[in-house]
Each structure stands twice: as structure tokens, then as C-alpha cells.
């Protein structure tokens, strides 16, 4: 375990370096710039701005300076928000995206896993068909359609929940429902497939032959291995559910990091884009590492490499 963790942690450094390098040069090669607006600014003012942010230096020098500061998580000042450090924006906005994603993923697991188990146990019955039909609908309906429909039905018609903002528990309901729908569907389908495979194994037949109750066989012996596909999915899903909350944050006016990242990309805010991408990348790498460790704990047959 220690050797595995050390090897994976050491791999984080070159991985982040590659991501930082690719993102840096892609942003600089993209057309436009941080100080090109609809109304042209005087050449002297533009030159002063470029000098203030160090954009008039050679590209290689800018790249080395960026790497040197990124090691200490110092990404500089945002071009779009001149009075704020990128690090401050990330630390302020990311907890909002993290909370939204955590609630959505928790709901997806708490509903999707029992749905998948029930569908597997009651295979080819109306329960199975209904559960998988709902899962198919969850996969098929995109967030930008489901979100407005929920707002129209539950906010503007029934007045049950606020339609936007991020204030109080009630304001969390619609964004969480919208964001969790797709992941709930995938988790239900993965759980069903995993459970169907496990329930056909010899050790399950042995457990039933010993007289164990069906609930014990399914939940204690079957679910442990049937849950493995979901565990493998949770790492990338957790990253996607947080990074993919951009649409949901826009629909419901949630002040998360996703909205900052989109605006930064449109405005060529180099520092904010680079800082957000590296932060998201580190978060994804750590999540995948935790998932790998959890997977080996659930299934001792898997070797750490």
C-alpha cells in the first residue's frame, strides 16, 4: 500500500506539468486576448496593461514564470476581476460547486444503488422495466432541459422551491435534482449489471443452500462485489459532476467555480483559466487515487500496481 501510494503521488507532478503546459499554450494560441473588448482601447493604454500583467515579455519567459508561481498556488491576479487573486476566487467559489456536486452525488448513490439492486433481484418484472425506464429517461434528458422544466413545474407553478440563487436549504433542491438525474441513472444501471453478474456466481448459490435469508445473500454477500462497478465509476463521476455543473450553475444562478471558468474562457482571463484547470485536475487525480484504494479494499483480488 505504501509503495503504491508513493508511486501514484510522484506521478501527480509530471501529470500536472503536462496539463499546465498544454493549457498554457492553448490559451495563448487561441484568437483574441484579455484586453480586446467591443470598444477598442487606445494603443498606449493597451501597452500599459500588457506591461502591467507581464504579457509583453517573451512567451517562454511567461511560461517559466507561470510554472514557478504555480508551484506555490500563486496564479496571480485575475484579468476580469483586477482586484482579486485567482487563488481567492477558487477558494471562495469551489466550496459552492463542491457542495452542489456532493449533494447530487449522494442523492444519486442513495437512490440509484437501491434501484439497481431491486431491478436485479426482480429481473424481467415490471419493477425492473420501470426502474430501467426511469434510468433511461435520466440518461436521455439533458440538464439544460430538465432544469427549466423543474423550475416551471415546482417553482413557477407549485411554488414549492425558489427558482434560483443559493440561499438556504430550499434553494439546493432543484439544482441538486437537476444535476443528479444523469448520474443516478448511470449508477442504477451499473448496479443492476454488477448485481446480475454476482448473483449468478457459485458462492451465492452456496449461501442460499446454507439457508441464509434472501436479504442477507443479496445485501451482505452480493452487494459487496456488485457495487464494484459503481465504485470504479464514482471517481470520474465525482469529478464530472463538479466540473459539469456549469450548466446547472448558470440555470439556477449558483455562484460556483464553473461559472467563473466559463466567463474566464470567454474573456481570455489566462490566469483564472489556468488556475481553475490545474485545481480541477489535482482534484480529479486525488479522487481517482481514493477510488483505487477503495476498490482494492472491497475486492482483495485486485492487486495494486
Cα 139 to chain centroid, rounded: 16
* Structural domains for the chain: 93-268 (1.10.3720.10)
Query: How far apart, in whole angstroms, are the C-alpha atoms of residue 24 and residue 22?
Result: 6
What is the average pLDDT value for the chain, to the nearest integer? 81
Grid cell for residue 170: 430550499
What does the DSSP assignment read for 190-242? Answer: HHHHHHHHHTTSHHHHHHHHTT--HHHIIIIIIHHHHTHHHHHHHHHHHHHHH
Confidence of residue 40 (pLDDT cuts 50, 70, 90): low
Grid cell for residue 198: 454476482
Residue 21 predicted with pLDDT over 70:
yes
Q: Give per-residue pLDDT as tens, 67-118.
A: 888 888 788 888 878 778 888 888 888 888 888 988 999 999 999 989 988 8
Nearest to 116 by CA among 242, 232, 221, 219: 219
| In contact, 155 and 162? CB cutoff 8 Å | yes
Query: How far apart, in whole angstroms, are the C-alpha atoms of residue 120 and residue 183?
Result: 18
Model pTM? 0.75
What residue has cell string 434510468? 135
Amino acid at each position: 500500500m505504501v509503495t503504491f501510494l508513493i508511486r501514484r503521488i510522484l506521478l501527480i507532478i509530471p501529470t500536472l506539468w503536462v496539463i499546465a503546459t498544454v493549457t498554457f499554450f492553448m490559451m495563448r494560441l487561441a484568437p483574441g486576448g484579455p484586453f480586446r473588448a467591443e470598444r477598442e482601447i487606445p494603443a498606449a493604454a493597451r501597452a500599459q496593461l500588457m506591461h502591467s500583467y507581464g504579457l509583453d515579455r517573451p512567451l517562454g519567459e511567461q511560461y517559466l514564470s507561470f510554472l514557478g508561481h504555480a508551484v506555490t498556488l500563486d496564479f496571480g491576479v485575475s484579468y476580469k476581476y483586477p482586484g482579486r487573486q485567482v487563488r481567492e476566487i477558487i477558494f471562495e467559489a469551489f466550496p459552492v460547486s463542491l457542495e452542489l456536486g456532493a449533494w447530487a452525488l449522494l442523492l444519486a448513490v442513495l437512490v440509484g444503488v437501491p434501484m439497481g439492486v431491486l431491478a436485479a433481484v426482480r429481473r424481467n418484472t415490471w419493477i425492473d422495466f420501470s426502474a430501467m425506464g426511469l434510468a433511461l429517461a435520466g440518461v436521455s434528458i439533458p440538464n439544460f432541459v430538465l432544469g427549466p422544466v423543474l423550475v416551471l413545474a415546482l417553482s413557477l407553478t407549485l411554488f414549492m422551491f425558489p427558482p434560483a440563487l443559493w440561499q438556504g436549504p430550499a434553494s439546493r433542491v432543484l439544482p441538486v435534482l437537476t444535476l443528479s438525474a444523469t448520474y443516478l441513472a448511470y449508477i442504477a444501471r451499473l448496479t443492476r449489471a454488477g448485481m446480475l453478474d454476482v448473483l449468478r456466481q457459485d458462492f451465492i448459490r452456496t449461501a442460499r443452500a446454507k439457508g441464509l435469508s434472501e436479504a442477507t445473500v443479496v445485501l451482505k454477500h452480493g452487494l459487496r462485489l456488485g457495487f464494484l462497478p459503481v465504485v470504479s465509476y464514482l471517481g470520474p463521476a465525482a469529478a464530472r459532476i463538479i466540473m459539469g455543473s456549469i450548466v446547472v450553475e448558470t440555470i439556477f444562478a449558483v455562484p460556483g467555480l464553473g461559472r467563473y471558468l466559463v466567463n474566464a474562457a470567454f474573456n481570455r482571463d489566462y490566469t483564472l483559466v489556468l488556475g481553475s484547470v490545474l485545481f480541477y485536475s489535482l482534484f480529479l487525480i486525488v479522487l481517482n487515487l481514493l477510488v483505487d484504494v477503495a476498490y482494492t479494499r472491497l475486492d482483495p483480488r485486485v492487486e495494486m500496481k
